[in-house]
Amino acid sequence: MKLETRIMKDVVLVPLEGKLMGGVETNLLSDQLQKLITKGYTKFVLDFERLRWINSLGVGALIKWLMILRQSGGDLRLTNAKDKVEQYLEITKLITVIETFDCPQDAINSFLVPST
């Protein structure tokens, strides 16, 4: 999995590729998120446009990151979940816990615009 983060204001956009199934890719993402949290970033958007598969270990990692971010005063958003990834998020009911958006900019804007 290739991991290149972009920071927009205080929101971190993380485009994901390939699979999120535990192991190396999950550890790589965990390490990157932890470094950024240590630097004070607590608002993350994971872009799933190029993510082709996720399994229960990947979902477990998302839940772990969501809890860490919320305990730090931040949150996690997901964007561009398609096909099998979207179906898995629906089956596991994760989309009822983590806000999802159709495009990264909408997810980023959700952090920037105060909720009413």
**For 41-70, b where at least 16 C-beta lie within 10 A, e where not — what string?**
bbbbbbbbeebeebeeebbebbeebbebbe
CATH code for the domain of 95: 3.30.750.24
Query: What is the rounded CA–CA span in Å between residue 104 and residue 79?
Result: 6
- Token couple for 67: 């809890």
Output the pTM of the full model. 0.91
| Contact present, 12 and 34 (Cβ < 8 Å) | no
Whether 1 is in a domain gets the answer no
| pLDDT of the residue at 115 | 58
Domain that holds residue 97: 6-112
Whether 22 is in a domain gets the answer yes
| pLDDT of the residue at 91 | 93
- Token couple for 92: 């596991």
pLDDT digits (tens, 9 = 90+) for 10-46: 999 999 999 999 888 889 889 999 999 999 999 999 9
Count of the separate structural domains present in the chain: 1
pLDDT digits (tens, 9 = 90+) for 79-105: 999 999 999 999 999 999 999 999 999
